[in-house]
Structure 1
Amino acid sequence: MSGYVELLPVAFEAVGRGAEAMRGRSPGSLTVKGDRDLVSELDFTIERELRAFLRHATPAIGFLGEEEGSTGSAELQWVLDPIDGTANFVRGIPLCAVSLGLVHRDDAVLGVIELPFLGSRYAAARGDGASLNGQSIKASTVEDLSEAIVAIGDYAVGPDASAKNRLRLALTARLAEKAQRVRMTGSAALDLAWLAEGRIDAALTLSNHAWDMAAGVAIAREAGASVVDRDGTSHDALSAMTIAAAPALSDTLLTLLAKADSQQASPGEIASGSY
Structure 2
Amino acid sequence: MHPMMNIAVRAARSAGNILLRYYERTDTLKVTQKGLNDFVSEVDRASEQAIIDTLRSSYPNHAILAEESGNKSGNDYQWIIDPLDGTTNYLHGFPQFSISIALKHRGVLEHGLVYDPLRDEIFTASRGEGALLNDRRIRVTNRKSLDGALLGTGFPYRDQSHLDAYLGMFRALIKDTAGIRRPGSAALDLAYVAAGRLDGFWELGLSEWDFAAGALLVKEAGGTVSDINGGGRFFETGNIIAGGLRLHSAMASVIRPHLTDHLRG
Q: What's the counterpart of residue 6 of structure 1?
A: 3
In the alignment, which of 242, 245, 248 is matched to residue 247 of structure 1? 245
Mapped to 2, the partners of 1:32 and 1:20 lie a distance apart of 24
Rounded Cα–Cα distance in structure 1 between residues aligned with 2:198 and 2:88: 22
> Which one-letter code corresponds to 1:131 in the other structure?
L
Report how many residues are paired: 257
Q: Displacement of 1:140 after TM fit?
A: 0.7
C-alpha distance in 2 between matches for 1:48 and 1:83: 12
**Displacement of 1:127 after TM fit?**
1.1
Tell me by how many angstroms 1:236 deviates. 5.4
> One-letter code of the match for 1:46?
S
Pairing of 1:133-152 with structure 2 (within 5 A): 133-152=134-153
1:183 to 181, 184, 188: 181
Partner SS, residue 89 of structure 1? helix
Letter in 2 for 1:105: R
Code of the aligned partner of 2:38: D
Give, as a single letter, the amino acid of the residue that structure 2 aligns with 1:256. V
State the distance in 1 between where 2:122 and 2:47 align. Answer: 17
- Distance in 2 between the 1:113 and 1:240 partners? 18
**In 2 relative to 1, CA 240–50 (structure 1 residues): closer, same or farther, beyond 3 Å?**
closer
Checking the alignment, whether the CA contact within 8 Å between 2:77 and 2:106 is kept in structure 1 is yes
**CA 1:24–1:211 in structure 2 vs 1: closer, same or farther (change >3 Å)?**
same
Which AA in structure 2 matches 1:210? E
Aligned to 1:97: 98
From 201, 204, 207, the counterpart of 1:206: 204
Contact 1:227–1:235 under 8 Å retained in 2: no
Name stretches of at least 5 consecutive residues in structure 1 with no aligned partner: 264-275
Q: Unaligned 5+ residue runs, structure 2?
A: none
Q: Aligned pair in 2 of structure 1 residues 96, 69: CA closer, same or farther (>3 Å)? A: same
Superposed displacement of residue 115, structure 1: 0.6
* Letter matched to residue 224 of structure 1: G
Distance 1:13 1:86, change over 3 A: same
Other structure's SS at 1:172 match: helix
Structure 1 counterpart SS, 2:109: strand
Asked if structure 2 preserves the Cα contact closer than 8 Å seen for 1:5 and 1:126, the reply is: no
Which residue does the alignment assign to 2:74?
Answer: 73
